[in-house]
Amino acid sequence: METNITKRSVTSETRYHFKMRNTISGYLFGLGFVAFFDEVVFHQLLHWHHFYDKSTTSIGLVSDGLFHAFSWFATIGGLFLFADLRRRSALWLTRWWGGVLLGAGIFQFFDGTIQHKVWRIHQIRYVDNVYIYDWIWNITAVIMIIAGLMITLRTNRRTKDAKHA
């Protein structure tokens, strides 16, 4: 515990300077992780999602390609930013988790509404009551967005307090 407190007093200044990078690192990792989870669990293990759904619009194909590529980059880039924050003793784990939840939630919401329903790249599962899956999918996404937003705003306030103190 004691080492934790001394460490915190040393790092407190640095992490406020790098608060944006903490958010970006978490955000990228969260987005990438959700996409990776989607690929591994829903495509490969459960086989719920299809590699190609014939009703996909062409914009859906473009969007899927772009997000798939970006999520790959985001996962790795986010983790390298995390390593960078650690070596600078600027890692602010609470804020980083806020970023993770924001990235994961926003991407999942976009995927569950625009990509699945409007551009029809694929459905969550090819069953009759797919709307139940859609609701669970999107409500989880909204919960993550709200939690991420709360954490980010709270850590923002703490930065302000620290600057005024």
Partner 1 sequence: MHDHHLVTDVMNSESVRAGLILFPIIIFMLYVGAVMRSNIHRKKWPMYRTLCMALGMICIAVSVVGPLAEEAHVSFIAHMLSHLLLGMIAPLLIVMAHPLTLLLRTLSVSKARMLTSLLKMKFIHVLMNPFIAATLNIGGLWLLYTTDLYMLMHQYLWVFVFIHLHLFIAGYLFTASILSIDPTAPKHSYGYRSFILVIALAGHGMLSKFIYVNPPAGVPLKQAEDGSMLMYYGGDLVDLVLIFILCLQWYKAARPRPLPVPHKMNL
Distance CA 147, CA 22 (A): 16
User: Which is nearer to partner 1, 69 or 143 (by Cβ)?
Assistant: 69
Q: How far is the CB of 62 from partner 1 (least distance, A)?
A: 6
| Shortest distance (Å) from residue 17 CB to partner 1 | 4
The token pair at 149 is: 């937003």
How far apart are alpha carbons 98 and 155 in whole angstroms?
9
Query: Smallest distance, Å, CB 57 to partner 1?
Result: 13
In the complex with partner 1, which residue's Cβ is closer, 55 or 136?
Answer: 55
Write out the two tokens for 44: 């490969």
What's the CA gap between 143 and 140, in Å, rounded?
5
Residues 7-66 interacting with partner 1 (rule: CB under 8 A): 17-18, 21, 24, 51-52, 54, 61-62, 64-66
User: Cβ closer to partner 1: 126 or 135?
Assistant: 126
**Which residue, 65 or 139, has its beta carbon nearer to partner 1?**
65
Task: Give the position of tokens 């690929």.
Answer: 39
Contacts of 38 (CB under 8 A, 6+ apart): 49, 111
Tokens of 95: 């804020």
The footprint of partner 1 (CB under 8 A) covers 17-18, 21, 24, 51-52, 54, 61-62, 64-66, 68-70, 72-73, 76-77, 80-81, 83-84, 87-88
